[in-house]
Amino acid sequence: MEEIRQYLNEVQQVLGRIAPEALEEVIDVLLSAVYVGSTIFTIGNGGSAATASHFACDLAKGAIVPGSPRFRVIALTDNVPLITAWSNDVSYENVFAEQLSNLMGRGDVVVAFSGSGNSPNILRAVALARQQGSITIGFSGFDGGQLSRMVDVPVVVSCYCMEQVEDVHLVLCHLTATVLRQRLQRIEPPLSLSISYPTLRASVIPGPGPV
């Protein structure tokens, strides 16, 4: 029983240290993307791959508002044949960068999840995205890793328990999708399509419907 209480208390402490400003910049980028028709790509490994797929599902379905544009979102974690083909024939470090090379355009958005912030295939994909003029968002843990220093919008959960980092990442994804839906409900279309994408740096933080 004590171990259960300790884990729950630790997650609550991490959540309690979250700076809302970090998520506000994520929401601003994604809200701009939906109105200009940009595509959002999500990537991650292991548990973070599941989070990437989950977030894409929440944006594509849970954030729908009648009369408003829908999110164009693709989880690059979901095409198992393509992932294994690139891994087998080239290298695992290229599984996301090579997919982005086929699909990504200038002004698109890449949302990367990495507990350590140092996954080579994540860093390679983010580097490619920035070279091609895409906007990059990075959810990481620990000290943020290289990912937090590469992306336009870093969100760092400063915790050294991987399970708790992934817990909080998913909470932040649900928060983001929920607030996006609420914002879309309040906005009267059409919103100006002249929204620009400045290079953003969010503060580093410690730390929809039924499916």
Domain count, the chain: 1
Instruction: Let me know the angle formed at the C-alpha of 20 by 192 and 175, rounded to the nearest 5 degrees.
Output: 75
What the block records as the tokens of 181 is 């839906």
Whether residue 206 is contained in a domain is answered as: no
Q: What's this model's pTM, rounded to 2 decimal places?
A: 0.88
| Contact (Cβ atoms closer than 8 angstroms) between residue 142 and residue 115 | yes
CA distance 108 to 128: 12
The residue segments making up the domain with residue 58 are 2-186
| Domain assignment of residue 171, yes or no | yes
Does the residue 191 lie in any domain?
Answer: no
> Which residue type sits at 39?
T
CA 178 → CA 55, 62, 90, 134, 157, distances in Å? 11, 8, 39, 24, 20
Give the CATH number, domain containing residue 175: 3.40.50.10490
Tens-binned pLDDT, residue by residue, of the chain (211 aa): 999 999 999 999 999 888 889 899 999 999 999 999 999 999 999 999 999 999 999 999 999 999 999 999 999 999 999 999 999 999 999 999 999 999 999 999 999 999 999 999 999 999 999 999 999 999 999 999 999 999 999 999 999 999 999 999 999 999 999 999 999 998 765 444 434 444 444 444 444 444 4
